[in-house]
Amino acid sequence: MTASAQRCWEDVQEGEELKGFSLELTMTRMVLQVSGTQDFYPIHHDQAFARTAGHEDIFINTGFIRGCLCRLLTDWMGRDGFLKSLGFQMRRPNLLGEAIAVRGRVKTKRPEGRVDLEVWIENGRDAAVTVPGSASVVLPTRS
Amino acid sequence: MPYDIKVVKRQWEGHETPLRWGRYPVEHEPIRRHCHMLDDANPLFIEEGRCPPVLVDFFASRGSWPPGDFDILGLVRRIPTPGDRLINLNQEFEWFQSVSVGDRLGAKHKVAAIHQRGTKLDPLSVWIRTETTIVNQREEVVAVRTNQILVHRTPEEIVTGVSRA
């Protein structure tokens, strides 16, 4: 999203897909995750610790997941949009070595610039939705 | 003495922490690190210093290291549970205004609900829901966050029947 690409409420269509993005969860990305979130709980960077807790491997943390969903929405809204709410459920871990796709769709247009959306993260391993969510944004109007 | 979820609920549900101010003001470098993590090149964040909405609780916290008192960790750790391994399950945010570099944020937390319900990780898993209110330097609410965390034992602790509470 650039400063000039401002989306207005009138531009939005119900059912419209958001341009999403994908990320490979390489070890470097996992290190970026710790740097970016400052979440040092070892389950997100220490494979031995994760396995003793019963997990297959280390997995991305809440800060990374919500950051992905937030980026999806702020890229789409433009600079004058306002993210009003975001909720999500972390149903399955996204593990080191996997790839994720961050996606969204416009659900409902409401008065006063409000737009409700479905957002989610898919896991590249089996295209399963690992993180379903919903969001509401306020977009500028032309009137 | 066996773990009694009813006692824990009675003692902890409704517990509130006082407002505590973030250890650091909203700074540009953590915003950039957050963006780099996600390949997010949005100039509003990277160049102009607007805080990505999902980072407000980070700046309202006491700092990430040492980790014991980060965000709700200190509160969750005080609640008796059979295990001590944590997994976040759900999170919901509602925002009321924007935050930028130079703002000062603070937070208070409330234990909204505690339940014990078995999971595939641990039949004695405990679910803790918290509500966090984040304010700016004028004590205006900038966001409200609800979080659901699961506390469980390790497979080894389950096999040996260990319970920390």
Whether the per-residue pLDDT at A143 is higher than 90: the answer is: no
**Does position A132 have pLDDT exceeding 80, yes or no?**
yes
Question: Is A35's CB within 8 Å of B36's CB?
Answer: yes
| Average pLDDT in chain A | 94
- Whether chain A has a CB inside 8 Å of the CB on B91: the answer is yes
Determine, for residues B42 and A1 on separate chains, whether the beta-carbon distance falls below 8 Å.
Answer: yes
Residue A71 domain-assigned (yes or no) = yes
In a domain, A109, yes or no: yes
The CATH class of B5-160 is alpha beta
pTM for the model stands at 0.94
Task: Kindly state whether residue A35 falls inside one of the protein's structural domains.
Answer: no
At A3, is the pLDDT very low, low, confident or very high (cuts 50, 70, 90)?
A: very low
| CB of B94 less than 8 A from some CB of A | yes
Q: Are A59 and A43 in contact (CB under 8 A)?
A: yes
Q: How many CB atoms lie within 10 A of CB A7?
A: 19
Which CATH number belongs to the domain containing residue A124 in this structure?
Answer: 3.10.129.10
The terminus-to-terminus CA distance of chain B in angstroms comes to 8
A77 against A53, higher pLDDT: A77
Residue A1 has pLDDT above 60, yes or no: no
Whether residue A4 is predicted with pLDDT greater than 50 in this model: the reply is: no
**Of the ranges A4-18, A82-96, A129-143, which one carries the lowest mean pLDDT score?**
A4-18
- Give the integer Cα–Cα distance in Å for A89 and B84: 21
Pair B124, B153: CB distance under 8 Å: yes
Give a yes or no: residue A47 inside a domain. Answer: no
For an interface test with A, the pick among B23, B29, B38 (most A C-beta atoms closer than 10 Å) comes out as B38
A34 within a domain of the structure (yes/no): no
Instruction: Answer yes or no: do B53 and A83 touch at CB < 8 A.
Output: yes
pLDDT of the residue at B107: 97
A51 touches chain B (CB under 8 A): no
pLDDT score for A21: 97
The strand pairing partners of B91, in sequence order, are A88, B147
- Chain B interface, best mutation among A4, A33, A39, A45, by max B CB count within 10 A: A39
Partner B contacted by A42 (CB < 8 A): no
b (16+ CB within 10 A) / e for B16-37: eeeeeebeeebebebbbbbbeb
Give the pLDDT confidence of B102-148 residue by residue, as tens digits.
Answer: 999 999 999 999 999 999 999 999 999 999 999 999 999 999 999 99
Peptide bond into B82 cis (omega under 30): no
Average pLDDT of span A61-69: 98
What is the reported pLDDT for B82?
Answer: 96
The answer on pLDDT for A122 being more than 90 is: yes
Q: Number of structural domains, chain A?
A: 1
pLDDT at B158 over 50: yes
Per-residue pLDDT tens for B7-51?
999 999 999 999 999 999 999 999 999 999 999 999 999 999 999
A21 CB neighbours in chain B (<8 A) are 39
- For B51-60, write each residue's pLDDT tens digit: 999 999 999 9
Q: Pull the structure tokens for residue A23.
A: 């990320």
Amino acid at the residue A22 = S
pLDDT band at A35 (very low <50, low <70, confident <90, very high): very high
Question: Mean pLDDT across the stretch A100-115?
Answer: 97
Q: CA-nearest residue of chain B to A89?
A: B90
A53 near B CB under 8 A: yes
B43/A2 CB distance under 8 A: yes
Spell out the alpha helix ranges (H) of chain A.
Answer: 27-37, 47-52, 62-77
Q: Which range marks the domain in which residue A100 is found?
A: 9-24+65-138
Given A36, A43, A82, which is nearest B37 (Cβ)?
A36
The answer on pLDDT for A126 being more than 90 is: no
- In chain B, domain spans: 5-160
* Chain-chain contact of A54 with B65 (C-beta, under 8 angstroms): no
CB contact, 8 Å: A54 with chain B? yes
What's the ipTM?
0.94
